[in-house]
Amino acid sequence: MTVEDVSWNLSPLVHGEGDAGADRLVDEAAERAQRFAETYAGRVAELTGAQFAAAVSELQEISELASRSGHYAMLRFSVDTADPQIGALMQRMQEKSTAIETQLLFFELEWAALEDDRADELLAADGLDTARHFLRSARRYRPHLLSEPEEKILAEKSISGSSAWSRLFSEQVSALQVALPDQDEPVPLDAALARLMSPDRELRRTSAEAVTAALAPGLRTRAYIFNTLLHDKAVDDRLRHYDNWLAARNLANEASDESVQALLSAVRNRYEIPRRWYRLKAQLLGIDRLADYDRMAAVTQDDEPVEWEDAKELVLASYADFTPELGDPARTFFDDERIDAPPRPAKRGGAFAAYTVPSEHPYLMLNYTAKRRDVLVLAHEMGHGLHAELARPRGVLEQGTPLTLAETASVFGETLVFGRLLDQAPTPESRLSLLAESIEGSIATVFRQTAMNQFEDLVHTARRTEGELAVERLNELWAQSQEEMLADSVQLTDGYRSWWSYVPHFISTPGYVYAYAYGQLLALSIYKRYVDEGSSFVPSYLELLRAGGSRSPQELGQIVGIDLADPGFWDSGLDLVEAQLEEAEAAAQEALSRA
């Protein structure tokens, strides 16, 4: 099977009924939500423990019904953002789901309003085994909740507000086609960006220039979208009494503002790590100083494509050798058609795993271009998918983790596959190439994402103090955040100043990106424990995955012997990244001495 044949089958989400099934399920959820509101609105405080548990169980079932429809529509849209019928389906599901959420808002508000003693009494009831942590965590939002009428208005208006702008951005970026000078037909953005890994510098330069040219026509529109959403968040934060633009994300991540700032400060204090590598990489490439389009360049000519079937077997073997309890469910993603792999026109860029609902299975979306890096992306998204699969028994409220732990299984799985690739490297050149990819992966995940967080901090702050930001101002702030990380190790071209404008996280999930750094450092620490302990570590790792989001991040870390409350934890994780750098430096120096 070639990658072009790898598309997903979404019919299980809607019981094989297609779009009509999505409508039927969400309509059933709406009917049940109405009955639920008629039964429980205004009564949460007076419920017995058994009644409260029954109400929570009913909420979970309603959520599953609506989520099936919503995920079906979202996944269809992600692989074809240009089809108006699919767009209309997704909009319809969003509108109906929002109406359901609005009708059920009373339960969250009445639950949050209970006195602590009464809440503890209800939490002790039988039948809440898959909801207790979620319910406790929900009460942390008490200072930030508005009245029920206000909450309903905000929920209703979000469909024509932030959700609409986010969809427009996604459609615009997915429609980008890059006209490359050596290609007869334009290619999707992801395919053009993949060329930045080429060992041919002229090809990298012309590809980067072509990407900049493709970004230019819609740049003002995307900047307006960004400005609108920046202001929307500022209004939301003011109404909800959040102290800063990142506070709401930190609360969702169950992380204190102080702990997140400690992470970000620790990473920024170690920016010399990426700078060291980029200076050495310039030597390997035979140039005085890297340009931005050189950062992902292959350092050797070892750039053989990896066909889909080979990538599949490599990833499956890596997970199976760790434990069949991951290898077996990993194979079902391929066998049950739960992966969409090839790049296509109008397909969303990047890659992701969708948890869907606990009563079904997760799905993976890729843009596989046969680069070796794409093999690691497949391993990464498979880690997400396996985390979702093993946590399915936790139910719809506790299957997912906070974003800060969401990258744990993905980075761990990627590291497993990287180790196998390194063991199979046939030549010193191939080994150097892999080690370079490893350190660059950590740089991209830890340091670049921290720099991207700094960009977000700059733009959210500037939008709140300066008003609407011109394209040139956004470009300036992007360059400022990147130059802080790179210093004199990389020259930023004028064209690169607009490359903030295709990053979806800034639009759809403000504050998301620091979770990558958090997850990478955590996962590297967990992987080190596996290296130290061997097979005896496997049961605790599986326990961590099965726990989903049923405990706090600190409690989940304790399962695998990690103390997230330790002030020195981030520096110890960064020491592991520096050790990766030193290994790559040693291989690079050996290559330079042979040259």
DSSP string, 57-108: HHHHHHHHHHHHHHHHHHHHHHH-TT-HHHHHHHHHHHHHHHHHHHHHHHHH
Question: Is the CB of residue 348 less than 8 Å from the CB of residue 81?
Answer: yes
**Do the strands 363-365 and 290-291 form a parallel or antiparallel pair, or are they unpaired?**
unpaired
Cα 95–Cα 253–Cα 224 angle in degrees, nearest 5: 50
What is the Cβ-side half-sphere exposure of residue 323, based on CA atoms within 13 angstroms?
A: 15
Q: Where are the domains of the chain?
A: 3-160, 308-423+514-552
Report the alpha-carbon distance of residue 190 to residue 122 in Å, rounded: 50
pLDDT of the residue at 382: 98
pLDDT of the residue at 57: 97
CATH class (in words) of the domain with range 3-160: mainly alpha
Report the alpha-carbon distance of residue 525 to residue 572 in Å, rounded: 8
pLDDT of the residue at 591: 77
Report the alpha-carbon distance of residue 244 to residue 222 in Å, rounded: 24
CATH 1.10.1370.40 fits 308-423+514-552, yes or no: yes
Question: pLDDT by residue for the chain (595 residues), tens digit each?
Answer: 899 999 999 999 999 999 999 999 999 999 999 999 999 999 999 999 999 999 999 999 999 999 999 999 999 999 999 999 999 999 999 999 999 999 999 999 999 999 999 999 999 999 999 999 999 999 999 999 999 999 999 999 998 999 999 999 999 999 999 999 999 999 999 899 999 989 899 999 999 999 999 999 999 999 999 999 999 999 999 999 999 999 999 999 998 898 899 999 999 999 999 999 999 999 999 999 999 999 999 888 766 789 999 999 999 999 999 999 999 999 999 999 999 999 998 999 889 999 999 999 999 999 999 988 899 999 999 999 999 999 999 999 999 998 889 989 999 999 999 999 988 888 888 888 888 888 998 999 999 999 999 999 999 999 999 999 999 999 999 999 999 999 999 999 999 999 999 999 999 999 999 998 998 999 989 999 999 999 999 999 999 999 999 999 999 999 999 998 887 889 989 999 999 899 888 888 887 777 6
Question: Which own/partner pairs from 11-18 qualify as long-range (CB within 8 Å, at least 24 positions apart)?
Answer: 12/360, 12/361, 13/68, 13/69, 13/71, 13/72, 13/75, 13/356, 13/357, 13/360, 14/68, 14/69, 14/72
* E-only strand ranges, 214-322: 290-291
Q: Model-level pTM? A: 0.86
Question: Is the CB of residue 305 less than 8 Å from the CB of residue 370?
Answer: yes
Cα 194–Cα 336–Cα 548 angle in degrees, nearest 5: 80
**Do the strands 352-354 and 339-340 form a parallel or antiparallel pair, or are they unpaired?**
unpaired
Tell me the CA distances in angstroms from 274 to 60, 267, 320, 446, 559, one per residue in order: 45, 11, 33, 10, 32
Pair of tokens at residue 443: 């740089």
Report the alpha-carbon distance of residue 565 to residue 562 in Å, rounded: 9
Question: Is the CB of residue 463 less than 8 Å from the CB of residue 477?
Answer: no
Token pair 């090809």 is found at 203
pLDDT of the residue at 433: 85
pLDDT of the residue at 303: 66
